Structure 1
């Protein structure tokens, strides 16, 4: 390997030395100030990554051995505490490539470190407060800390693995409102199969804007298409608190799901979306226990900071079969941009038999609307520090119909405030 190539590669990943001040003196007589590699070589020499030869030359065109390259990598590893995430990733890849030579230099490279380039561990913690009020003067609130650890592993150049560990801790200590155990919440493999992007396992299932479904599916998802992006789903719903009604979640069935979604960009500003979903209760043989739902919607960028999204859905139920929502967004908080923020306002009308589990906190604010709900939502999010996002939203929902015979059906108000931390 030519030294000049080593210098250009190493300079791209070196330790934050680009922001360090160096003496103006030339470290090598054969690297003049006007040479293309002068800045990179000077910084590497000042950081102690390269030291040239005893006669004051660098000999950038000389081919070096793997052992000499390993020495450069070892010095870079010693300074990795100053490196950015991208630079550390480059150092990790080099340490894997020269693992045997590094061990010969007594540089510790553990088995885990050798796999650092193919295994990535990230996490997030969410502290959420929720407060419910309804017109029967009932009131409840909760404070839950949810922790998630994400595991991403590269199986080969075609397939990868994902696992999500999750634990929810009720900081109020109320019985039945938390799960203090750690569970494998999601787990799947994803890769290329016959020209499609195929996901197999348990994964989040939130098609389009979440008007129809927000849950997890045990099954398979197949995605294909460029201009017209298509996703096909088949499996069994993991979550049970579906379709509202009187039955408690533990006695509700896990629905079998067969679905397809479409997305098409008509311009740089506007994207159309649609979907068809079939939900079946496989615990009975009654053909009436199959519900079919379709939806159509769009998202358009009205201006640089303004966006409008909306969707309409309808099921084949005999009544209470329609759902729609519209939301106007201004900007939006970005966890990587301190000071970024966003606000939004939306309206929705979700009838009880229109969708099994929408993303809008259930049919209405208390997540158990027996006869659906309609109302507005306003919200605000903000990034006060890197990888930290605050969000507050308020929801005011009314009954979709005025059927007084529906026990427990009532108007409600809902406040949610949360802080999310990403690491």
Structure 2
């Protein structure tokens, strides 16, 4: 009896001393101005964590260290999907809440050792694609191999670097005809500044669902906001084929994303500037805007749509509506997705549409309207097979050879 009493007193004494230390009691509140809140808010805004078990992040509520550690554990589970800046935040949070994570059964010692030893992470992907184009005046086919290497580098606890080296090989031709193009098509730094996330360098900028912009920008982007996510960007488009231009136009704009329950809304306003535009448009500036949405309508079935317009005098409108059934998961062999869409993209409407075979007989001056059907399938982990068929015709009245069809199949490997 005395031994049990002595042991109890010793335990109480030990817990009392431990309770005086901030990190020892997992149920102690994290101070309201602690840096952890900003870090978790950033991860929530980037979609790495979704807060408590009910899918919400209560940014206005003081959390205990146990609650904070629970959110950090969720971030660790999705660390592979995070960019360099977010990975740095996850590592910093893991170190802060190491004891609580250990109590939760989340072992971070190995992760911390790896983070200390490795400041650069390299991954890659390879895509083999076959395309068969059929036009009224003839046909053509292409076989291409695209290889990408992704480099994520840690600059410090908050800023990171990302680079993407890309090689595209046309397998229809011999090497002495210059069939392989190697480019550094992404190279940028990213990190927090004055309550925003700043990205500077060469980076992809994909707006909405790709109806109006899916391109690469040489410039800067400033992102801010949580529920209403806002991007403000400025730079030079990295392509010289934007709205009939033969140079890389100056580009700037703003876009918004808003989550209204299970429905996601998007909108944007963009300006492209080049002196050559004055021969087709009213000035050397082309102004473009768009709105769109995506929303589940029944289980596993998602509806999406976008509408856009430029300030051209004619052929200035674009819209698309699509359905997707289920979704592929590279970690789940056997998962699949079936999709279809209808689009009408007039000749002077969309600066850089994402769709394969967006225009009749492969040129923007014809515009393109028609439909696409396809499916994706994961035959094994980290591999994706995709097939699609596209049937479009010109939006320009009286155009000759105004119909085209595309059969495309490809397989991708991620490593």
Write the distance in 1 (CA, Å) between the matches of 2:292 and 2:377. Answer: 27
SS in 1 for 2:386: strand
Q: How many pairs does the alignment contain?
A: 308
Q: Is contact 1:276–1:293 with CA below 8 Å preserved after alignment?
A: yes
Q: List aligned pairs for 1:54-69, cutoff 5 A.
A: none
The more displaced of 282-291 and 380-389 is 282-291
Distance 1:284 1:298, change over 3 A: closer
Which residue does 2:57 correspond to in 1? Answer: none
Distance 1:256 1:282, change over 3 A: farther
Write the distance in 1 (CA, Å) between the matches of 2:174 and 2:370. Answer: 30
SS in 2 for 1:385: coil
Question: RMSD value over aligned CA atoms?
Answer: 2.3
Query: 1:410 Cα deviation (Å)?
Result: 1.7
Write the distance in 2 (CA, Å) between the matches of 1:176 and 1:271. Answer: 48
Which residue does 2:135 correspond to in 1? Answer: 134
2:397 equivalent to 1:378: no
Distance 1:176 1:205, change over 3 A: farther
Offset from partner CA, 1:272-321 (integer Å, 9 cap, x none): 11000101115789871210011111110112201000000011100000
2:152 equivalent to 1:152: yes
Bigger-Rg structure (1/2): 1
2:229 equivalent to 1:234: no
1:338 to 333, 346, 366: 333
Q: Is contact 1:320–1:351 with CA below 8 Å preserved after alignment?
A: yes
Which residue does 1:276 correspond to in 2? Answer: 269
Q: Is contact 1:371–1:409 with CA below 8 Å preserved after alignment?
A: no
Give TM-score scaled by structure 1 length.
0.69
Q: Is contact 1:218–1:238 with CA below 8 Å preserved after alignment?
A: yes
Which residue does 1:265 correspond to in 2? Answer: 259
Q: List aligned pairs for 1:11-410, cutoff 5 A.
A: 91=110, 93-94=112-113, 114=117, 116=118, 118-136=119-137, 138-173=138-173, 179-244=179-244, 252-267=246-261, 269-281=262-274, 288-361=283-356, 363-364=358-359, 366-404=361-399, 410=402
Offset from partner CA, 1:9-37 (integer Å, 9 cap, x none): xxxxxxxxxxxxxxxxxxxxxxxxxxxxx
Q: Is contact 1:365–1:414 with CA below 8 Å preserved after alignment?
A: no
User: Any gaps of 5 or more consecutive residues in structure 1?
Assistant: 1-85, 98-113, 245-250
SS in 2 for 1:384: coil
Query: 1:188 Cα deviation (Å)?
Result: 0.2
Query: 1:94 Cα deviation (Å)?
Result: 2.7
Distance 1:172 1:292, change over 3 A: same
Distance 1:253 1:409, change over 3 A: farther
Distance 1:401 1:96, change over 3 A: closer
SS in 2 for 1:94: helix
Q: Is contact 2:210–2:354 with CA below 8 Å preserved after alignment?
A: yes
Write the distance in 2 (CA, Å) between the matches of 1:306 and 1:94. Answer: 43
Q: Is contact 1:297–1:310 with CA below 8 Å preserved after alignment?
A: yes
Distance 1:282 1:152, change over 3 A: farther
Tell me which protein shows more helix as a share of its residues: 2
Distance 1:198 1:187, change over 3 A: same
Distance 1:174 1:416, change over 3 A: farther
Moved over 3 A (4+): 89-93, 174-179, 282-287
Q: Is contact 2:361–2:403 with CA below 8 Å preserved after alignment?
A: no
Give TM-score scaled by structure 2 length.
0.70
Query: 1:361 Cα deviation (Å)?
Result: 2.6
Offset from partner CA, 1:39-90 (integer Å, 9 cap, x none): xxxxxxxxxxxxxxxxxxxxxxxxxxxxxxxxxxxxxxxxxxxxxxx99x95
The more displaced of 337-346 and 163-172 is 163-172
